[in-house]
Structure 1
């Protein structure tokens, strides 16, 4: 990655070490995705891992969307 900025690099990168990037892989209605857990039954979609092209066209599965689901031992990978 190349950053072109007049702002010093220390300021640009400030706080990047403290970011929480704990992601999980789950299936919701048969669609496999990578999410960031927000609570026990809510998560933010980070990216889809589905081989089905139609899943990517579904706005309900757009990255950044908050989803609500029922946690199950069978859904988590």
Structure 2
């Protein structure tokens, strides 16, 4: 891939070295991939389900914040 830009490469790649912490959790019977934003909460990144209705549930949409202690299980 070639990136044509007038910005310095350091600016473009800034923050890309940060390791993101993901957890796989089960909330209300639905498996979710969550990025940890704190010790007890995270942001939904992906729904890991084969049921199309789970993707239509607004509480499971990517970007929503969930509390880990309200989850049925942390699959990790």
Q: Normalising to structure 2: TM-score of the pair?
A: 0.77
Counterpart-to-counterpart distance in 1, 2:68 and 2:11: 38
Distance (Å, rounded) in 2 between the aligned partners of 1:54 and 1:16: 34
Supply the distance in 2 between the matched residues of 1:2 and 1:30 (Cα, whole angstroms).
Answer: 43
Highest RCO, 1 vs 2 (Cα 8 Å, sep ≥ 6):
2
Pick closer, same or farther for the CA change 1:58–1:3 going to 2, 3 Å: farther
How many Å separate the matches in 1 of 2:16 and 2:62?
21
Describe the shift of the 1:2–1:55 C-alpha distance in structure 2 as closer, same or farther (beyond 3 A). farther
Q: How many residues align?
A: 75
- State how far apart, in whole Å, the 1-side matches of 2:2 and 2:59 are: 32
Counterpart residue number, 2:9: 9
TM-score by length of 1: 0.76
Q: Which has the larger share of strand?
A: 2
